[in-house]
Amino acid sequence: MSESYDIVIVGGGMVGASLAAALAPLPLRVAVIEALPPTSSEQPSYDDRATAVAYGSRRIFDAMGCWRALESAATPIRRIHVSDRGRFGFTRMDSRDYGLEALGYVIENRAIGPALWDQIGGHDNLRMICPARVSALTVAGDGAEVTVSREDGGSERFGAALVVAADGARSPLRELAGIDNDSRDYGQTAVIANVSTSQPHANEAFERFTEHGPLAMLPMAGRRCSLVWTMAPEAAARVLAAPEDAFLDELQQAFGFRLGRIERVGRRQSYPLTLVRAGSQTAPRVALIGNAAHALHPVAGQGFNLGLRDVAALAEVLAAAVRDGDDPGGASVLEAYEQWRCEDHERVITLTDSLVRLFTNPLGPVKAARGLALLGLDLLPAAKAGFVRQTTGLAGRLPRLARGLPVA
């Protein structure tokens, strides 16, 4: 006999846990099945990274009632400086020019996990099942069933009207649901670490395009920054293994002296970068969200923010189904979700992919053109405002949560 829920979310990482929290006010019974607790050293979502949470995502968290728990761990980004190493063009964006308190906030992933899981633990209609790994899916006309393998070798089944895949870029559930994907290796690796600098960042984030790939320094508490440094895999292996002094020298050369001397570096880690796009966002009784639907290059910090808008849209479509007495896993819900999300996905994937292609192209005329593009962005307020609207998550058809309204 299987236990039954309205919604089963597979994956309790940053996006899956956010969906559960967003569904809390609805009269739906929700289970989240997660393979690894947030404190596990193997946890792929709540790891050593820090996430640039866009202003639009802050609004979503606020409307979900999660922001209070995240706020003390969040460092506001008030300005962003974008430059091309060794070229003339640069541009700067300032939150005050757009009437925003901040363009975004930097939060360590390890702080996001416990805040979301605590939120889930506080609601009777939400249940976290962990550690437990989904290993099979069966779909019938009126529902779906997932099989969960437990650590002790046992297994259990859970029934649901809708199963949501929030199980990351390699998404076993996407495969079990028969949804194909397009995947392209960027041939780049992101090296991440926390660094401290001799000069304060004054809440400014830096995105610097270098000949090897983009380098971001995101402001954190004190004089610390979260570094995301993208380069070829062989170069990444070298800087990961380099002694601290050599690492700091190379980073200083690539970043320059805008924050004075880069004095210390914490634990370094690396992530191979691949663009993954699911062929469809839905299958019968299944919806994809977050990296299971789209895994992006981290340039411009868009992946989680796009996933959180999946969350807000799916929660709203489900709220409408509840209101109208519709089946939450029925075809009309899945169709509404798929149609809503495709435009935002397309826009963000095109934006991040074009930035990577444009700024890693070694050809002289392309290098000159991107200097002009940065200069143009700086001189054309309307173009810059459009870029800011997109990257802060305030463009296109916004779900209720992204407008600061309750989901229902």
> Could you tell me the CA-to-CA distances from 292 to 9, 255, 279, 304 in Å, in that order?
12, 33, 11, 11
Tokens 């199963």 belong to 163
Check residue 172 for interaction with ligand FAD (CB under 6 A): yes
Farthest CA pair distance, the chain: 67
Q: Which stretch binds ligand FAD (CB under 6 A): 276-284, 290-298, 337-345, 358-366?
A: 290-298
Beta-bridge partners for 218: 226
DSSP tag of 123: -
Among 5, 13, 83, 195, binds ligand FAD (CB under 6 A): 13
**At its nearest, how many Å lie between ligand FAD and the CB of residue 54?**
7
Contact indicator for 373, 32 with CB cutoff of 8 Å: no
Check residue 119 for interaction with ligand FAD (CB under 6 A): no
**At its nearest, how many Å lie between ligand FAD and the CB of residue 228?**
5
Among 143, 214, 303, 328, binds ligand FAD (CB under 6 A): 303
Contact indicator for 216, 204 with CB cutoff of 8 Å: no
Among 5, 11, 179, 314, binds ligand FAD (CB under 6 A): 11
Q: Which stretch binds ligand FAD (CB under 6 A): 259-267, 304-312, 378-386, 398-406?
A: 304-312
Closest CA to 9 of 135, 146, 116: 146
Among 281, 302, 352, 391, binds ligand FAD (CB under 6 A): 302
**For residues 243-272, which are near ligand FAD according to CB under 6 A?**
271
Among 8, 15, 22, 24, binds ligand FAD (CB under 6 A): 15
**At its nearest, how many Å lie between ligand FAD and the CB of residue 382?**
25
Q: How many helices (H) and strands (E) does the chain have?
A: 11, 20
Considering Cα of 308, then 314, then 320, then 321, what sign does the dihedral take?
negative
> Could you tell me the CA-to-CA distances from 95 to 75, 287, 320 in Å, in that order?
14, 35, 34
Check residue 33 for interaction with ligand FAD (CB under 6 A): yes
Q: Which residues bind ligand FAD (CB under 6 A)?
A: 10-16, 33-36, 43-45, 49, 51-52, 133-134, 166-168, 172, 190, 192, 228, 271, 290-291, 298, 301-305, 307
